[in-house]
Structure 1
Amino acid sequence: MVIETRGFPAGEFVEVVADLAIERWGVDSDNATLTVRWFAGESEDARPEFSFHYSDAERDLGWHYHEQEHVEGWGHFQERTGTAEYSYESYTFPSENPARLVWEIMSCLSSRV
């Protein structure tokens, strides 16, 4: 499902970019990537902030958990096609555990693309 991954910055991996195997996802567009960003916060009691963001030549969509002004609460899904503006909708994450979220988002992504 994933061809290659790159982590940024080197050795810290606050951001990981995965090149996806488009034939396995049934995507008709080149350059499909999933970018995952994760920030644990300044202290133990701080909320994590994260995003799972997919893009290819035609679509751009993602699940985000951070303070923002587009919807109520921290969680949202955003999507756009081509050069259109993003549309936003609230999204409730079932967990803030990174391993669980990867499976959740990969399942959501599979049904969207």
Structure 2
Amino acid sequence: MEKYIAVTKETREYLRKLFKTTDVTVWRALYFDKRAGNTLTARKIRKAAQERGGILMAVCPMMETMHDADGYMRQYFPNGVMVECNKETGRVEIIKDGKAVEGYDKVSINQLYQIQARAERL
């Protein structure tokens, strides 16, 4: 899952001056960019950002979830895939283009997270 630390423009400028570095280096540290790595400087920038009120954010896909009167939960993903859960039986299906492409029985919450991730990748 992608993540970043949200800060104000003033905080980014403060971090640049404090660590005597460039805007790009600060940006890479705040966005956990692989090119910045997990260097000591990147960790220090992130720590200082949070100490100044920066908020760690997670980027996740938008999806619509409906709990219908027929006992189903349906999740609609941006890629056109739907996850349909029968709340009574625990049966979950991934539906693409109107056809069930995968099905699972007696799904736990932890398994549902994995199924949602799978649906997102289709």
TM-score, normalisation: structure 2: 0.34
Greater radius of gyration (CA): 2
Q: Which structure features the higher share of helix residues? A: 2
